């Protein structure tokens, strides 16, 4: 085999490698869909482990700035079921007046989610409400294990339960960002954290135009990186919508949402500014977590019901499970809320002056009586 022939073969191989490299580069830059194995949740546990996150029972619960704030409608659905189906009037709870007033007067309700996306029920333990909830949930949401959250006690007199599940699937999946996004935390000081992200940033991509066309800018103040803005990442999704907004914290989730909605309603953007163009970039942090939260402000033997006919009952627990994700394919939330109402324990401990007397059971006059004022005649305890 001549050297000339060998050089010719080498050139062909080199040319083939270059062509393959060009094809791979073209495919990556025009059809990028980064495929990752299933990612673990960023958090999966009890909310007590989170120092920078608050879970609130109502949208109008005031919170300190500088922390994540989470709310889900399942809390209101369970509360309203207890209020409407059992107590049949605004619920009054001792030592929890502020939070119960906000729950009783909440503007949100079951009207704010489609009927097929939720379940809510309350009733008496003596009427087998737990069995009814299990049967209903098995039909409505067969993949949900109700016993993960509902654990009735022998002293449970009443229980309320709610569950919701909803998702928004983006018309066209976004692209996973190829490098970490530096997220700047709010609150005191400035802390940057590298986080995973998704969005659209590639100039040359066959998907880019389609992805850009699904995004709508709802309001935007300024150019470059706007100080305030809101977008709908997939404007044609129905029945549910996802809104992402960079806005200042307004003290409560409710006020912050009202502030954002007012900005959206009053926005006067021309059509060309509502669309993203070829020079625009969108990057969104990936979110995936699952938590359980106890609303301690509603729990305990001191949280007695003050409603007539329900004296002697107290809210033992107010537990909420929430699972939320936001990634390149869309957003989803699932949440359950459980409220067991127990018969308050009574402690009959004669450790102070007391009366003892004996009589015929059907009579009202005794044949023996003693007032015990001190321990002189009581049996002394052994050392």
Strands, sheet with 175-176, edge to edge from the N-terminal-most edge strand: 175-176, 197-200, 282-285
> In what helix (H) or strand (E) does residue 256 lie, and over which residues does it extend?
helix 253-265
Considering the domain architecture, whether residues 47 and 107 belong to the same structural domain is answered as yes
Considering the domain architecture, whether residues 265 and 318 belong to the same structural domain is answered as no
**Residue 222 to residue 245: CA distance in whole angstroms:** 14
Specify the pTM: 0.84
Considering the domain architecture, whether residues 147 and 296 belong to the same structural domain is answered as yes
Task: Choose the weakest-confidence range: 85-94, 271-280, 352-361.
Answer: 271-280
Give DSSP secondary structure letters for 188-199: SS--EEEE-EEE
- 298-316 pLDDT, tens digit per residue, is 999 999 999 999 999 999 9
Q: Does any domain span residue 180?
A: no
The SS3 assignment for 55 reads strand
For the domain that residue 98 is a member of, what is the CATH number?
3.30.497
What's the pLDDT at 28? 45
Contacts (Cβ under 8 Å, ≥6 apart) of 161 = 78, 81, 119, 120, 121, 122, 133, 146, 149, 150, 336, 337, 338, 339
The SS3 assignment for 10 reads helix
| 70 neighbors 58 (Cβ within 8 angstroms) | no
Q: What angle do CA 129, 133, 137 make, to 5 degrees?
A: 175
**Residue 215 to residue 223: CA distance in whole angstroms:** 17
What would the two tokens of residue 135 be? 């049967």
Considering the domain architecture, whether residues 268 and 312 belong to the same structural domain is answered as no
CA distances from 368 to 278, 350, 358 (A): 98, 19, 5
Among candidate residues 58, 124, 74, 123, the one with its CA nearest the CA of residue 319: 74
What's the pLDDT at 191? 81
User: What total number of domains does the chain contain?
Assistant: 3
CA distances from 375 to 44, 358, 369 (A): 56, 20, 16
What's the pLDDT at 112? 97
With 60 as the cut, is the pLDDT of residue 27 above it?
A: no
Which residue range forms the structural domain that includes residue 227?
191-283
Considering the domain architecture, whether residues 133 and 245 belong to the same structural domain is answered as no
- 217-261 pLDDT, tens digit per residue, is 999 987 888 899 999 999 999 999 999 999 999 999 999 999 999
Contacts (Cβ under 8 Å, ≥6 apart) of 157 = 124, 125, 126, 313, 341, 342, 343
Considering the domain architecture, whether residues 205 and 302 belong to the same structural domain is answered as no
Q: Does any domain span residue 305?
A: yes
* Phi, psi (degrees; rounded to nearest 5) at 305: -75, 135
Q: Does any domain span residue 179?
A: no
Q: How confident is the model at residue 53 (pLDDT cuts 50, 70, 90)?
A: very high
Contacts of 129-137 with CB under 8 Å at 24 or more apart are 129/158, 129/159, 130/159, 133/159, 133/161, 137/163
Considering the domain architecture, whether residues 104 and 157 belong to the same structural domain is answered as yes
**Residue 149 to residue 338: CA distance in whole angstroms:** 7
Question: Is 8 or 248 the better-scoring residue by pLDDT?
Answer: 248
Considering the domain architecture, whether residues 72 and 3 belong to the same structural domain is answered as no
What's the pLDDT at 299? 97
- 328-373 pLDDT, tens digit per residue, is 999 999 999 999 999 988 899 999 999 999 999 999 999 889 999 9
Give the position of tokens 């023996």: 368
What's the pLDDT at 20? 62
What mean pLDDT do residues 11-38 have? Answer: 51
- 194-216 pLDDT, tens digit per residue, is 999 999 987 566 678 889 999 99
What's the pLDDT at 29? 41
């Amino acid at each position: 085999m001549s050297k000339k022939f060998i050089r010719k073969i080498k050139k062909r191989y080199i040319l083939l490698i270059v062509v393959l490299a060009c094809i791979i580069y073209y495919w990556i830059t025009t059809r990028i869909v980064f495929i990752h194995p299933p990612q673990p949740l960023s958090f999966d546990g009890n909310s007590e482990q989170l120092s920078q996150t608050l879970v609130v029972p109502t949208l109008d619960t005031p919170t300190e700035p500088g922390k994540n704030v989470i709310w889900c409608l399942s809390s209101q659905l369970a509360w309203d079921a207890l209020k409407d189906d059992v107590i049949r009037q605004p619920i009054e709870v001792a030592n929890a007046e502020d939070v119960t007033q906000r729950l009783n007067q909440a503007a949100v309700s079951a009207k704010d989610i489609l009927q097929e996306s939720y379940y809510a029920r309350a009733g008496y333990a003596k009427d087998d409400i737990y069995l009814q909830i299990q049967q209903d949930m098995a039909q409505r949401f067969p993949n949900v294990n109700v016993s993960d959250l509902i654990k009735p006690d022998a002293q449970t007199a009443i229980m309320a339960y709610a569950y919701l599940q909803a998702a928004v699937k983006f018309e066209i999946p976004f692209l996973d960002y190829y490098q970490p996004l530096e997220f700047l935390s709010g609150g005191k000081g400035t802390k940057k954290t590298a986080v995973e992200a998704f969005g659209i940033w590639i100039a040359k991509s066959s998907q880019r135009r389609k992805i850009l066309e699904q995004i709508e800018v709802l309001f935007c103040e300024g150019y470059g990186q706007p100080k305030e803005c809101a977008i709908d990442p997939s404007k044609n999704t129905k029945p549910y919508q996802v809104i992402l907004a960079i806005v200042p914290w307004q003290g409560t989730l409710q006020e912050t949402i009202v502030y954002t909605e007012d900005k959206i309603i009053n926005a006067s953007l021309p059509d060309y500014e509502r669309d993203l163009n070829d020079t625009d970039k969108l990057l969104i942090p990936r979110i995936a977590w699952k938590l359980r939260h106890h609303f301690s402000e509603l729990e305990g033997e001191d949280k007695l019901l003050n409603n007539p006919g329900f004296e002697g009952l107290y809210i033992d627990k107010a537990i909420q499970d929430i699972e939320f994700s936001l990634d390149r394919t869309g957003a989803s939330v699932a949440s359950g809320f459980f409220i067991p109402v127990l018969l308050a324990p009574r402690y009959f401990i004669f450790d102070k002056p007391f009366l003892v007397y004996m009589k015929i059971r059907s009579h009202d006059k005794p044949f023996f009586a003693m007032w015990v004022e001190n321990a002189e005649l009581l049996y002394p305890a052994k050392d």
